[in-house]
Chains A and B, each alone.
Chain A
């Protein structure tokens, strides 16, 4: 009598370091779901403004004087 556990490991380890297509697609699906949750949030204002600001001719990247785009970071180090 085989128990469920040994059946499970058998079906998910088909030799040569490969995984069943089912497991592969499940991992891929979860990975993308996690990733796309963030992607769907779009571009936060802070970054849109940053890129716009730096587009001005002669602009130099200055985080500290960036007009408050970096509030979260202050005092953390």
Chain B
């Protein structure tokens, strides 16, 4: 469809959550904004392929995710960089206690496998349905559900329970490969 004013406004309206998603994925504010810029250019260049009436945010998130994936394969994510840069993106610094809790959460989130992290963010923070998240990630709805559950369990183990060993990588991988019943 052509780039109408209203479509342009809708794209603009999606930018804040695209940035939030990009930062959650990359853990790096600068790279996140590059990713958003690339996403917008890609979207605008391919605007003809957008189906009027379909879910615009989901379409944009799909583009961003795919760009991140191909970028990720090229250069590995700089995990050490993540916390400092992320904190810089905050306009107001949270209080010290909240800040500590926030960093802890961020660190735990960074420990999740990428598949699980993106599924959790799409469903738990961006507010997409399981169906939309599945279409964004190009996988089955059941896979998304299972990833979200894994992600939550692992976060809980890392943050709120001693004995994170119970949710070690082996267990996680086995569960993902085996597919979980619920």
Contact = CB atoms under 8 A, between A and B. Distances in A.
Interface in A13-53: 13, 16-17, 19, 23-24, 26-28, 30-44, 46-48, 50-51
Given A9-B161, A23-B156, A44 B44 contact: no
A27 B126 contact: no
A71 to B, nearest CB: 11
Counting contact residues on chain A (CB < 8 A from B), the size range is 35 or more
B72 interface: no
Interface string A40-68: 11111011101100110000110100000
Interface stretch (B12-20, B49-57, B132-140): B12-20
Where chain B touches its partner, the secondary structure class is helix
Interface string B21-38: 101100000100110111
Interface of B: 3, 5, 8, 11-12, 15-17, 19-21, 23-24, 30, 33-34, 36-38, 40-42, 44-45, 89-91, 101-102, 105-106, 109, 120-121, 124-126, 149, 152-153, 155-156, 159-163, 166, 180, 182
17 contacts: A9-B161, A26-B160, A27-B152, A31-B124, A32-B124, A32-B125, A34-B106, A34-B109, A35-B121, A38-B19, A41-B19, A44-B33, A46-B33, A47-B37, A51-B8, A51-B12, A73-B37
